[in-house]
Structure formats: C-alpha cells, structure tokens
Amino acid sequence: MAQIAAEHTEAAAPAHANPAPLGLAAFALTTFVLSALNAGWYSLGAKDAPAVIGLALFYGGLGQLLAGMWEFRAGNTFGAAAFSSYGAFWLAFGWSLQNGQIRLGTAEMGFYLLAWGIFTFLWFLGTLRTNLALMAVFLFLTLTFLALAIANFGGGNTWATIGGYLGIITAILAWYTATAGMLAAGKSAFQLPTFPMG
C-alpha cells in the first residue's frame, strides 16, 4: 500500500509547451501591419495613430519578450536571445512612435535600422544548421532592415516600398514557421515541412 501511495505522489514530469510559435506569430503579425504601411497598402492621415503601436507594445513586444523568457527556461539560447531581443525592439519602437521620439527619414533612424540589420544577419548565421523555414525568416528580415535603413539614409520612397514588401514576405515566412511549430506540437491532421538542415 505504501508503495502505491508513493507512486501516486511522485509528480509526473511537466510537459513543456514550445514558446516559439507564439514568438514567431507575434513577430509576424506586427511586422505584417507595419510592412503593409511601408509598402503603401494603406496610408495615415495627419491625425491618425498607426495601428502598429498597440501591436508593437503588446503582441510583438510583450508577447515575444515572454516567449523569449520561456525559451530561456526551456534551455534554448538562440530562441531566448532572438525573441527577447525582437520583443524589446518592438517595445522600444512602439513606445518611441507613440511618444514622438522616432524621426523617420533621418540618418539616426537609418543607423537604428542598420544596427538591427547587422544583429539579424548575425542571428541568421545561427540558423544555418536548423531548417530552411527559419533561415528564410532571418534572411528576409535582414534584407528588410537593410532596405529600410537605405530608405532612411536618403534612398527615398522606393527603398521604403521595397522594405515594405520584403517585410510582408518576412511576415508570411514567420507565420508559416509558427504554424509548422504549432502543428508539430499537437495532434494535428497534417504537418507543414520546415526542411531541416541536418
């Protein structure tokens, strides 16, 4: 009897959910809305507040930051650093946009975006032995940051539009990768391939 009681009191190892689909989905949706603006799919009036502010603060920002912290707990250094960093990026961007701290079309913004492009390229190098889906997300995000940096360094609206379309592609790739992770974690009727690199 004591043995049965001991077996029942032993806690089963808790199942850990994968935080990556949350982080990727939060990133994708926020990136999509801002990139659609950059691509010229919609425009803002003089008194309009960009829809991306709320997304940047709460979904892209807080959502990714939380996913990053959960990745630390899961022991995934890459995911923890990536989601925490991009969560902080969106929090800083949303706060700065809301409080008028960002000056678009300036060298200051160009260097800000260039620095994030360099960071993203370094993290792209970290994806080279993961899978093609994740590699594509980081490659296109690097190109997005570089195009938007060029636009802010004086490249004009053409580069901003290119950056917008690259951002839309990045968002779609991130949604795909998030969906693949979410489907793989459950009992779904089908799976999406991510094309592992070995």
Q: Left, alpha or beta for 74 (phi > 0: left; psi -120 to 50: alpha)? A: alpha
3-state secondary structure of 131: strand
Burial 37-47 (b: 16+ CB within 10 A, else e): bbbeeeeeeee
Instruction: Indicate the domain borders of the chain.
Output: 19-39+49-184
What DSSP state is assigned to residue 196? B
pTM of the model: 0.90
pLDDT at 103: 82
pLDDT in tens, the chain (198 residues): 444 444 444 444 456 789 999 999 999 999 999 999 999 999 887 556 688 899 999 999 999 999 999 999 999 999 999 999 999 999 999 999 889 888 888 999 999 999 999 999 999 999 999 999 999 999 999 999 999 999 999 999 999 999 999 999 999 999 999 999 999 998 889 999 999 997
- Structure tokens that stand for 43 in this block: 């425009």
pLDDT of residue 1: 43
